Amino acid sequence: MSAPLISGIQQVGIGVQNVPDAWKWYRKMLGFDVPVFDEKAEAPLMTPYTGGEVHKRHAVLAINLAGGGGLEIWSFTSRRSQPANFKVEIGDLGINAIRFKAPDVKKAHEWLKSQSKEAVGPLVALPEGEGFWASDPYGNTFQITSDETWFQQTGKPVGGVAGVVVGVSNIDESLVFYENLLQPLEVVYDQSGVFEDIPASIKGQRFRRVLLRKTFTPHGAFSRLLGNVQIELVQALDRTPKKIFENRFWGDCGFIHLCFDTIDMDTLKSKLQAQGYPFTIDSESSFGMESAAGRFAYLEDPDGTLIELVETHKLPILKKIGWFLDIQKRKNQKPLPDWMLKLMGLSRVKD
């Protein structure tokens, strides 16, 4: 079997109206307190998704060093980021929720119930294991679940991004896309019916749910940090779902993209194009984001949900002393030493 071309979820993009306020909430509630970059700049390559105009933005990429993917917290600065003009429901087309992992789901539930002023649902049985749904202050839904891959113990109740819940119009078509993108991939469950755990405004709706899992393998510089990937596809069976970003820009309020850490962009691009999934954006060369750099590209799933791919070229290990790692000079794609990634914690922002 050939080596994987994607090592894990690098981050999920969250469009907000105020980056500092949103990042503070995600630091305090969910532990995303280590910045990889914090930058204000233009987004010239994203014009296909920003009305054909170059817009300015403020973006922070923050990680939780317990393990899992990060969050790219993003806001326009040249216009006001626009929310959806309807309440997003599970099953609508796009990223419905982030799945954060917790070392102990019950303790995570107790923590958020006691600390967050936002809605926190009950601890419930999921199709696999137990977990709960909750909301951030910006109208976004998230889920806390268990996972077996951890980078280190931090003592915090919640870890990083384990995956996402994606609303789709046809699960069978979406399965082909995600299997081609992430193979090898395991189908953990495929169930249809009424699910008591789903926070739907109208009770009794039927859904089809498929959980896909990409199991950790030691391929890629950041693979030990990122861990497993969980993608739950959800199809509403009793209603016509709405497209979450219909008539809005990438970067507006909500979950704007799902980003994967990519090991070999050229090979992945050729493979996906041959399968009928072309890149819609490709920086082609290295693109700087404050003190980090890499090649990035975008493509769409069958319902237009934006998938970002990033091949990292430069990573800040210890910005205070100007220590940056040139990933391109590494002769293999083995995981970076744990001690090196742990040094990033010295840049932790404390509240």
Q: Which two tokens stand for residue 30?
A: 């969910």
> What per-residue confidence (pLDDT) applies to 333?
79
Calculate mean pLDDT across residues 154-174. Answer: 97
Instruction: Tell me: pLDDT of 288 over 60.
Output: no
Q: Report how far residue 209's alpha carbon sits from residue 96's, in angstroms, rounded to the nearest whole number.
A: 13
Is it the case that residue 259 has pLDDT exceeding 90?
yes
- Given a cut of 60, whether residue 1 has pLDDT beyond it is no
Q: H/E element holding 267? A: helix 265-274
Confidence class for position 294, pLDDT limits 50, 70, 90:
confident
pLDDT of amino acid 292: 62
Q: Would the pLDDT of 327 be above 80?
A: no
Q: How confident is the model at residue 157 (pLDDT cuts 50, 70, 90)?
A: very high
The span from the CA of 155 to the CA of 158, in Å, is 9
Q: In what order do the strands lie in the sheet with 130-135?
A: 124-125, 130-135, 141-145, 94-101, 161-167, 229-236, 206-214, 186-194
Length, in residues, of the chain: 351
Residue 202: per-residue pLDDT: 87
Domains detected in the chain: 6-347 (3.10.180.10)
Residue type, 351: D
CA distance 316 to 36: 7
